[in-house]
Amino acid sequence: MNMNNNLIEKLTEISNVFSSKKRITLLIFLTEQPANYSILKRNFAENRINIVPSEMYKHINFLEKYNYINKKGKTYMITSKGLKVIDMISIITDEVAIIPKIKYDFNGEQTFQKSLNKTGV
């Protein structure tokens, strides 16, 4: 079997997202609403997940690098690629995920609306 190197790279990237509880947690927080660093840090603290600033930025930078989240000003928001990861988790775990509907206004700005989506079979 001759595997495509590009496919191997993509699978490695995805496995790196799934292998980190804190990366998944960041994505879940950002499905609820866009947030700045302080809000993300508070969400971790409220959920009793210890994370130091350097670790938080390491995970944020990874997710940004591979386009799972993006940053506008000081605010981080989940991308459609990040939403697909959350959707895949819902399918795999057969759990209900709250996935926001993303709408664009005439200025190209993203707006979020929460909606309850049951994914899977």
pLDDT at 115 over 50: no
Structural domain that includes position 61: 5-95
How many whole angstroms separate alpha carbon 32 and alpha carbon 101?
11
pLDDT, tens only, 49-96? 999 999 999 999 999 999 999 999 999 999 999 999 888 888 887 766
Tell me, what CATH number does 89's domain have? 1.10.10.10
End-to-end alpha carbon distance in the chain: 31
The whole-angstrom distance between residue 100's C-alpha and the CA centroid of its chain comes to: 12
Q: Is residue 109 part of a domain?
A: no
**pTM assigned to the model:** 0.69
CA 90 from centroid of its chain's CA atoms: 13
In a domain, 37, yes or no: yes
- Please provide the DSSP assignment of 34-55 as one string: -EEHHHHHHHHHHTT----HHH
